[in-house]
Structure 1
């Protein structure tokens, strides 16, 4: 769960609604934190033309389907508002309700449905982790800052977060697999994001010190070193592809070019700029790096 002291810092609603094109039904991209402190913030017989979902971070209430079926809501409830489906959401008036929502256009929802990715049940259970709140804030700020002409670039980010809410993320593992093999897979994913090795060990149901020792014994390197290696391997590919240095830094999880360049130099013995320059010369075999 997300610690209460972090949730308490969100003192008011903070949302953004954007649209690709002119039709909200098809082009909406929206997200944000919504506080609902009183019963009059409840919504009855409500429906959207587009897809929206929210995860309840704090508080409680009730979802009432069109046929009268009632679903209790509490922290961790994932509520879906399917296009064109009437429903009611009742808020318990204790001042605690805080949700993070995402809305996307109906065509994007339809593409999920065509792949049988989304469960159409109106209320599901999301797994809330301490790092989720910071990621939600980054998504919100990113959508606010994106120029209209670049809004389509936000679509994958929004879709990815919806899938994450569904449990398609690194912390869900198949415990029938070798745990170190599963850890290697997880450490190779989402290289732009912070990952807690302690949380990773817990998800594998292994104590952290045991996990670290067994991982190093099987792979020859520590979990942290393994992840850094994956980041640097990805950075090499991006450098060879001509991706701008600042963009590469972000894609492999560094806040600025200086931090990325320092790590790259430490890992390979050459700064990334020199590595890229050698790609266009008759320098010795680059495989040494």
Structure 2
């Protein structure tokens, strides 16, 4: 179903005396350029979260995290003091809705667990109800008396929490499958878990804990077991132990045999004889 996107405009208010640290904002933005748009952003004392409504682009930041494709339903976090780029693909009509919060409010919602700063791009969801909720929120923010700004702040907090956690199982299954694919690919090459985490749009510690929770083992151990699965196939095909060790990038046959025994409970030679 095609979304009905309202007129693009934004509004900002301040809850308290410091407009930089205690800002609240909400709005809709449209971007389009025949050659693409690459926007460099650095929020020093505020946080932003945008929800992609239409169009495609990508994300990268100064920490090395890259997400090669951002699309409708993705929530992109503009984290305080982290320089990042959000290119829009050439010719695309890009629409987004967003909220911004001063850094004081950002620190509070991180402490409450409403958002995960280690995942700057979260594969969430979008529907007409969410679009209408953002539209209603910005109208309320523009016209509300100061006494209602705290209630609006709580509304934004709940909205961010839902966008991050609703539809979690579907998105998590997709992301988990991609993580397993990356860990199983190129068994003969050495890979760094930090690089896998970046490809998934996560920080390393968040990735490690998330993967272990869902798979019952750390990502490094998962990769070892997939390498051993490849070794089993080659051994059953009659390949010599040293040849398999070389193919899989082990330093020597002894190192390979020791790891094979730890995982399977038998030596590669014994496994080869049995099969």
Q: What is the TM-score with the length of structure 1 in the denominator? A: 0.52
Q: CA deviation at 1:95?
A: 4.0
What does the per-residue CA deviation read over 1:2-41, in whole Å, with 9 as the maximum and x for residues that have no partner?
x32523xx3x522111112342332111011111112675
Contact 2:36–2:91 (8 Å) recurs in 1: no
SS at match of 1:119: coil
Q: CA deviation at 1:102?
A: 0.6
Q: Distance in 2 between matches of 1:40 and 1:92?
A: 5
* Residue of structure 2 in register with 1:155 after alignment: 153
Contact 1:48–1:81 (8 Å) recurs in 2: no
Contact 1:60–1:75 (8 Å) recurs in 2: yes
* Residue of structure 1 in register with 2:123 after alignment: 125
Equivalence map 1:21-32=2 (5 Å): 21-32=16-27
Say yes or no: does 1:44 pair with 2:40.
yes
User: Max radius of gyration: which structure?
Assistant: 2
SS at match of 2:110: helix
Equivalence map 1:1-289=2 (5 Å): 3-4=1-2, 6-7=4-5, 10=6, 12-38=7-33, 41-44=37-40, 46-71=42-67, 72-120=69-117, 121-168=119-166
Contact 2:51–2:76 (8 Å) recurs in 1: yes
Q: Distance in 2 between matches of 1:80 and 1:65?
A: 11
The gaps in structure 2 that reach 5 residues or longer are 170-275
Q: Distance in 1 between matches of 2:23 and 2:161?
A: 18
SS at match of 1:157: helix
What does the per-residue CA deviation read over 1:89-117, in whole Å, with 9 as the maximum and x for residues that have no partner?
11123241000101112222212222334
The higher relative CO (CA closer than 8 Å, separation ≥ 6) is in: 2
RMSD over aligned CA atoms reads 2.4
Q: Distance in 1 between matches of 2:120 and 2:3?
A: 29
Q: CA deviation at 1:45?
A: 5.1
SS at match of 2:128: coil
